[in-house]
């Protein structure tokens, strides 16, 4: 029997075997824990000192790793942000749905009311649920009126509370939303947003580069807010606009308020921090702290945020009752539209560690990310896990933890990985599908081309499906070729030796398996 045939035959057995240690793990839990997912933005595998970084130090995150399990084979579902967040919150690979790409700031809600989600599942289990930080999953049903109640959004898909940015730091509108309304909005100064043509008379980066804190490429040269030009055009809402330098403290304060108010009942917090996404404008107290420029300083700021948050959990007396998962939505990027010296000042620092490329890439640097899980007395301490895990597994794994059953037609790609998440087993996934999309720039806009690039991880093997000629975006190789690529990651973690021609049978079998997983509409048992 062939390797792939054997694997297919074993999948039902393996799936059943995975349930046993997970059920045992869940049975030992006497109280439902608080659950916090700390989701960094563009943080790479090599950006933390607990993952081998020597140029930059992250002592607070290192302490979190020492208190729990650190994963060396964990993956974001996609090499870009919106698809990863979609998959993490729904349990479905984003490439199964249409429109799951990096969204503009005025895009309609991608996760629709009625769709099964992680917060909805936990809400059904008795949890208070909240999101603080980056959203970037769309809002409303079309063209959003930012001056009225904004829905659907987080509150329509299972969150009780939300305090969030509509999209990203580099996209308008540069305002914060609490539940369904823009914070501090002056009705006499209404907001207008457009991603196609200029609105209002405010200066843009293209017109007035002398007003900028640092330069930007054409895509990031639209309306200037706080001395930084953004993607898209905006006018109005001046009292509601965030301060880039103060935003991290503001979000941390809201996250602390959420857990403080709910410390006596189980809660779930999706804490989606900004760092180290562009534009990188850390608080003055962190400027120069890394010696690597704004990107390094932003990582130091993120580490401080984690430390301050953990300290507050301790003060509230709930640290031992809280399961924390810290990870990143995709791999790293140095230059991503702004001239902030990230490339020039990187020195010997390798943001992706030993892996190739980073954000936007189908190579390992695009999706293999740091991931740390901690829960004192429950998650194995000071452990390094080699289990293959994907963020799409959070739905099924946490459902097992809190005793919730998943509907048959929901979380179709989410595997119950509670045992490895708890550090109790090294048996992770047998396979995972990775994805990205080609990015295309056209003058002052940037968008996906719609061409989806897929890869299959199966054990130590990785197949990248043949697609188009080589591309790169913002200095990162996308990893495309017109023909299949096959790599043995155990011997070649940098994906330099393409074995597809040397091993045509295995290449064909893995390609057929990927085709079937795509065709079947689900991969979970």
Cα–Cα dist 19/30, whole Å: 19
pTM: 0.94
Supply 339's token pair.
């001239």
Contact 355, 50 (CB under 8 A): no
Supply 42's token pair.
């563009």
Give the distance from CA 304 to its chain's centroid. Answer: 19
Q: What does the pLDDT read at residue 442? A: 61
Over its C-alpha atoms, the chain yields an Rg (Å, rounded) of 22
For helices 3-27 and 504-520, the axis angle rounded to 10 degrees is: 50
Contact 179, 151 (CB under 8 A): no
Which helix H or strand E contains 438, and what residues bound it?
strand 431-442
Neighbours of 478 (CB within 10 A): 24
Which helix H or strand E contains 312, and what residues bound it?
helix 294-315
Neighbours of 137 (CB within 10 A): 24
Per-residue pLDDT tens over the stretch 327-337: 999 999 999 99
Neighbours of 20 (CB within 10 A): 11
Positive or negative torsion for Cα 102, 104, 106, 107:
negative
Per-residue pLDDT tens over the stretch 259-313: 999 999 999 999 999 999 999 999 999 999 999 999 999 999 999 999 999 999 9
Positive or negative torsion for Cα 37, 40, 45, 48:
negative
Q: How many residues does the chain have?
A: 525
Chain position carrying tokens 């793990």: 25
- Residue 411: closest CA among 195, 141, 122: 122
Output the CA–CA distances (angstroms, integers) from residue 214 to 155, 195, 198, 342, 373, in the order listed: 36, 22, 21, 12, 37
Q: What does the pLDDT read at residue 451? A: 76
Q: What are phi and psi of 36, to 5 degrees?
A: -130, 125
Cα–Cα dist 393/403, whole Å: 15
pLDDT (tens place) for every residue of the chain, 525 residues total: 443 443 344 333 333 333 333 444 444 446 799 999 999 999 999 999 999 999 999 999 999 999 999 999 999 999 999 999 999 999 999 999 977 888 888 999 999 999 999 999 999 999 999 999 999 999 999 889 999 999 999 999 999 999 999 999 999 999 999 999 999 999 999 999 999 999 999 999 999 999 999 999 999 999 999 999 999 999 999 999 999 999 999 999 999 999 999 999 999 999 999 999 999 999 999 999 999 999 999 999 999 999 999 999 999 999 999 999 999 999 999 999 999 999 999 999 999 999 999 999 999 999 999 999 999 999 999 999 999 999 999 999 999 999 999 999 999 999 999 999 999 999 999 999 999 998 776 666 666 666 789 999 999 999 999 999 999 999 999 999 999 999 999 999 999 999 999 999 999 999 999 999 999 999 998
- Residue 255: closest CA among 145, 345, 130: 130
Q: What does the pLDDT read at residue 122? A: 98
């Amino acid at each position: 029997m062939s390797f792939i045939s054997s694997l297919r035959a074993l999948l039902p057995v393996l799936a059943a075997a995975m349930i046993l240690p997970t059920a045992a793990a869940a049975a030992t839990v006497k109280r439902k824990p608080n659950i916090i997912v700390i989701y960094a933005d563009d943080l790479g595998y090599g950006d933390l000192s607990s993952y081998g970084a020597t140029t930059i130090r992250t002592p607070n995150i290192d302490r979190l790793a020492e208190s729990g399990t650190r994963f060396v084979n964990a993956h974001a579902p996609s090499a870009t942000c919106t698809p990863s967040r979609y998959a993490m919150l729904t349990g479905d690979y984003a490439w199964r749905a249409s429109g799951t790409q990096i969204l503009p700031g005025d895009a309609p809600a991608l996760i629709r009311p009625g769709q099964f989600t992680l917060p909805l599942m936990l809400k059904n289990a008795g949890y208070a649920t909240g999101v603080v930080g980056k959203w970037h999953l769309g809002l409303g049903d079309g063209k959003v009126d930012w001056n009225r109640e904004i829905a659907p959004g987080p509150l329509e898909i299972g969150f009780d509370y939300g305090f969030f940015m509509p999209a990203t730091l580099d996209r308008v509108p540069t305002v914060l939303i609490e539940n369904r309304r823009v914070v501090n909005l002056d009705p006499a100064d209404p907001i207008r947003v457009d991603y196609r043509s200029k609105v209002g008379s405010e200066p843009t980066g293209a017109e007035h580069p002398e007003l900028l804190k640092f330069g930007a490429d054409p895509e990031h040269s639209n309306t200037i807010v706080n001395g930084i030009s953004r993607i898209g055009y905006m006018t109005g809402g001046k009292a509601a606009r965030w301060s880039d330098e103060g935003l991290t403290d503001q979000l941390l304060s809201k996250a602390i308020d959420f857990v403080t108010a709910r410390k006596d009942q189980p809660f779930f917090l999706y804490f989606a921090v900004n760092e180290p996404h562009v534009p990188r404008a850390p608080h003055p107290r962190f400027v120069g702290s890394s010696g690597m420029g704004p990107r390094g300083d932003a990582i130091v700021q993120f580490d401080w945020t984690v430390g301050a948050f953990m300290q507050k959990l301790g003060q509230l007396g709930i640290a031992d009752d809280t399961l924390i998962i810290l990870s990143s939505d995709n791999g790293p990027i140095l230059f991503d539209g702004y001239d902030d010296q990230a490339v020039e000042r990187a020195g010997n620092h390798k943001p992706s560690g030993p892996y190739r490329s980073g954000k936007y890439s189908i190579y390992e640097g695009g999706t293999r990310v740091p991931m740390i899980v901690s829960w004192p007395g429950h998650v194995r301490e000071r452990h390094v896990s080699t289990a293959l895990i994907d963020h799409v597994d959070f739905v099924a794994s946490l459902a097992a933890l809190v005793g919730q059953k998943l509907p048959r037609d929901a979380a179709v790609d989410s595997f119950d990985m509670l045992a490895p998440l708890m550090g109790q087993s090294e048996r992770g996934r047998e396979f995972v599908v990775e994805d990205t999309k080609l990015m295309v720039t056209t003058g002052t806009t940037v968008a996906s081309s719609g061409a989806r690039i897929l890869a299959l991880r199966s054990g130590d093997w990785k197949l990248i499906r043949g697609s188009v000629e080589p591309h790169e975006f913002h200095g990162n190789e996308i990893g495309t070729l017109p023909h299949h690529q096959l790599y043995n990651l155990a011997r070649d973690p940098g994906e330099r030796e393409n074995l597809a021609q040397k091993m045509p049978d295995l290449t064909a079998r893995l390609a057929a398996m990927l085709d079937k997983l795509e065709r079947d509409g689900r991969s979970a048992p």
